[in-house]
Amino acid sequence: MRKTMIELPPTPANSLPDKKYTTLVSLCGHLFDKFLINEALDIIETAGGSFHLVKCDVGQSIDDMSYSELEVGADDTTTLDKIIDSLTSIANAHRGDPNAAEISLKIGRVSECGIDDSMDKVGPKVLILGAGRVCRPAAEFLTSYQNIDQVHVVVASLYQKDAEETVDGIKNATAAQLDVSDTESLSNLVSQVDVVVSLLPASFHAAIARVCIELKKHLVTASYVDDSMSKLEQAAQGAGVTILCEMGLDPGIDHMLSMKMIDEAHALNGKIKAFTSFCGGLPSPAAANNPLAYKFSWSPAGAIRAGRNPAVYKFLGEIIDVDGSKLYESAKRLRLPELPAFALEHLPNRNSLMYGDLYGISKEASTVYRSTLRYEGFSEIMAILAKIGFFDAENHPLLQETDRPTYRIFLNDLLDVNNVSTSNTKVNGEETGGHDDELISRLMMLGHCKEKELAVKILKTIKFLGLHEETQIPKDCSSAFTVICQRMEQRMAYGHNEQDMVLLHHEVEVEYPDGRPTEKHQATLLEFGKTENGRPTTAMALTVGVPAAIGALVLLHSNHNTSHTDILHLHQKETCVNLSPSSVAALAPEQGPEERGDPASGTGDLHPCAGDLGSVGHQADRESGDLRMSGWDENLSSIYAAATEAVSK
């Protein structure tokens, strides 16, 4: 959908100084062509209120929605409540009537002018940039932490309503509207806090880091260190600023777990013979209820592009290169003995060789392999969708025409099927014959499927995604890639009560020069998303957001205990070298979250003396070398210790 954003001057801290009470109102719908915005403004003025237009995105066609944010003010809460009730009545008017003008409404917190002194509060302050799913677990963890002092969190987002929704119900957290490309506004917010956590895409981090360096503020990210960040290392050192990167799941926990296993082997004079790592964000088994057994909590475009990246790894001394176009075809079956219910597959994840160097095992390990996990069958279907042409990003001639084709016409074009109306017949409640048979025939004739059973599976996927339907393709789809992304986003999203799952599994084979038998060690992290008090928290958000929050706590603590400045990676030896119970007890805080319960397990403690990552399982199974992180609450202290080591060396 094309939109025009009306550029507005920066919103002052109190844009309605004559009104004591204010709230943010977000409106979305046909605001201008149906004159709904006029009606809303009339309601505000008639009631004696005032408004300030904060943001406005105007749809460019009769079908497009418009979006606006209004700061609404009144002299008293009674008047403000009356305005809110009247605006709500617009949104609810004629609901269910297809001819009624559709409008959605969201109301933010009511603030009393002059009362919000969040930036004037005594105590440490953390700014979180980005209000996506990962943000809330991070904000909850930080604000519930009591050891240093009460931590105040500011969540900043491009859209105020997103930040408001994220901090809703979190004590000692406030929302802020911020466009990070506005350096002046970014600098203003950063200057008022002690530590910044960026949960934005990695492409934003270098610009944010430059502002942090200029203002001498520490920064935490959950992203890999790229060239643009590495170039800032000297500037960070000169400014006395620590930039702690890779504080998430992958990268993050995976590095810490890897280095723990490798360092323990080296401490016993062992050599790493083989290192393999499997990691994936998946739907929980109950939510894996479509032909691909996969769902998206974000845009499918990034996931599809990742599945087209080339990969390289080392297996039994041989370097294996995998072309990006063949990545899905390289997937292999995986079964984990301790998790026999999971039918999984793995495909190589980009450049595994660099981790041999980063982990210090490239000269000793004959196998170094990092991979992405999916449920079995996913890659086979994705490979055939690619062969059909659905991942082609170039503009398609059919999609450049004014008269939009239907999904069926477009599918027929990709498979070179005659666009003749052939209807299916129903057998046992399912459609068959006609067009279905023709599609199966073409899939096999073109060589996409060698067996009919596979062709039937692909047909089911096509029908699940609605790629066969007699409805017009939207105007904003210009390529086969955008068509399938749009369909996947619609049909493969998580349902309201559905949960995701994170599975991380490492295997290390260790040999010893003194004749001791070769040992195999395993480590597994399995975490499921949860819903508490009607609010869902994904496993991915938890395992990325909480480590990032712990990184921020470490940097707050380091303001008093260390002068270390650098750009730090979580795979560095000094980051992960000491995860013993004694080091955790010495470096970790004396108490954890305030009787809140860890978001993963409800234990409510950081357990400073709980030991290594998964220490309970590791000590119990020392001979077999197995390491389980079945509930990661007892391991948060080790994440804290790993980050502390990074800034205290």
Which tens digit of pLDDT belongs to each residue from 314-357? Answer: 999 999 999 999 999 999 999 999 999 999 999 999 999 999 99
* CB 148 within 8 Å of CB 557: yes
Task: Supply 314's token pair.
Answer: 């080392």
What is the rounded distance in angstroms from the CA atom of residue 42 to the CA atom of residue 15? 19
CA distances from 70 to 83, 162, 464 (A): 12, 14, 40
Choice between 448 and 563, residue whose per-residue pLDDT is larger: 448
Choice between 344 and 105, residue whose per-residue pLDDT is larger: 344
Flag whether pLDDT at 118 surpasses 60: no
Query: 97 pLDDT band (50/70/90 cuts)?
Result: low
Flag whether pLDDT at 281 surpasses 90: yes
Choice between 88 and 638, residue whose per-residue pLDDT is larger: 88
Averaged pLDDT for residues 501-519: 94
Q: Can you list the positions of beta strands (E) in 93-221?
A: 103-107, 111-112, 125-129, 152-157, 173-177, 195-198, 218-221
CA distances from 453 to 105, 207, 439 (A): 48, 51, 13
C-alpha closest to that of 444 among 378, 383, 388, 382: 388
Cis peptide bond prior to 251, omega within 30° of 0: yes
Q: What is the DSSP string of 363-400?
A: TT-SEEEEEEEEETTHHHHHHHHHHHTTT--SBPGGGG
Given the structure tokens 């592009």, which residue do they identify?
Answer: 305
* Active-site residue flag, 250: yes
Query: 434 pLDDT band (50/70/90 cuts)?
Result: confident
128, 68: one domain? no
Choice between 106 and 169, residue whose per-residue pLDDT is larger: 169
Q: Give the total residue count for the chain.
A: 649
* Average pLDDT over all residues of the chain: 80
C-alpha closest to that of 196 among 227, 236, 165: 236
> Residue 406: which domain range?
384-487
Q: What is the pLDDT of residues 448-482, one digit of tens each?
A: 999 999 999 999 999 999 999 999 999 999 999 99
Residue 90 DSSP SS3: helix
CA distances from 334 to 107, 281, 616 (A): 48, 15, 26
Choice between 449 and 598, residue whose per-residue pLDDT is larger: 449
What is the rounded distance in angstroms from the CA atom of residue 47 to the CA atom of residue 42? 8
CATH number, domain containing residue 100: 3.30.70.2690
448, 545: one domain? no
245, 127: one domain? yes
Flag whether pLDDT at 71 surpasses 50: yes
Task: Tell me, yes or no, whether 622 lies in a domain.
Answer: no
* CB 344 within 8 Å of CB 374: yes
Counted domains in the chain:
3
First to last CA, the chain: 50
CB atoms inside a 10 Å sphere around CB 91: 17
Averaged pLDDT for residues 387-406: 93
* 51 membership: H or E segment, kind and range: strand 50-59
Flag whether pLDDT at 376 surpasses 70: yes
Flag whether pLDDT at 96 surpasses 70: no
235, 134: one domain? yes
Q: Which of 550, 573, 588 is the last residue of a domain?
A: 588
* CB 489 within 8 Å of CB 516: no
Task: Tell me, yes or no, whether 619 lies in a domain.
Answer: no
What is the rounded distance in angstroms from the CA atom of residue 73 to the CA atom of residue 56? 18
Catalytic residue among 250, 500, 626, 633: 250
Flag whether pLDDT at 428 surpasses 50: no
95, 139: one domain? no
169, 74: one domain? no
Query: 122 pLDDT band (50/70/90 cuts)?
Result: low
Q: Among 63-67, 326-330, 436-440, 582-586, which is the least confidently predicted range?
A: 582-586
Choice between 617 and 436, residue whose per-residue pLDDT is larger: 436
What is the rounded distance in angstroms from the CA atom of residue 587 to the CA atom of residue 558? 10
Flag whether pLDDT at 11 surpasses 70: no
CB atoms inside a 10 Å sphere around CB 158: 16
CA distances from 401 to 115, 118, 187, 405, 588 (A): 56, 54, 46, 8, 62
90, 22: one domain? yes
459, 573: one domain? no
Averaged pLDDT for residues 283-308: 91
CATH number, domain containing residue 202: 3.40.50.720
Name the residue type at position 243. Answer: I
Averaged pLDDT for residues 259-264: 93
131, 232: one domain? yes
Q: What is the DSSP string of 212-223?
A: HHHHT-EEEESS
Name the residue type at position 638. Answer: S
Q: What is the pLDDT of residues 39-51, one digit of tens each?
A: 888 888 888 888 8
β-pair partners for 591: none
Task: Tell me, yes or no, whether 578 lies in a domain.
Answer: yes
What is the rounded distance in angstroms from the CA atom of residue 144 to the CA atom of residue 141? 5
Given the structure tokens 């559905």, which residue do they identify?
Answer: 498
Give the pLDDT score at 496. Answer: 82
Residues 6+ positions from 570 with CB-CB distance below 8 Å: 245, 246, 247, 251, 252, 255, 256, 576, 642, 643, 646
Task: Tell me, yes or no, whether 392 lies in a domain.
Answer: yes
Task: Tell me, yes or no, whether 624 lies in a domain.
Answer: no
Q: Which of 91, 112, 133 is the last residue of a domain?
A: 112
Choice between 28 and 469, residue whose per-residue pLDDT is larger: 469
Residue 79 DSSP SS3: helix
Name the residue type at position 88. Answer: T
Task: Tell me, yes or no, whether 198 lies in a domain.
Answer: yes
59, 92: one domain? yes
Choice between 315 and 597, residue whose per-residue pLDDT is larger: 315
127, 224: one domain? yes
Flag whether pLDDT at 230 surpasses 50: yes
11, 131: one domain? no
β-pair partners for 525: 504, 629
Range among 85-94, 121-130, 212-221 rated most confident: 212-221
Task: Supply 538's token pair.
Answer: 């994904």
CATH number, domain containing residue 445: 1.10.1870
Q: Which of 487, 516, 533 is the last residue of a domain?
A: 487
- Give the chain's largest Cα–Cα span: 88
C-alpha closest to that of 538 among 499, 489, 495, 596: 499
CA 186 to chain centre: 22
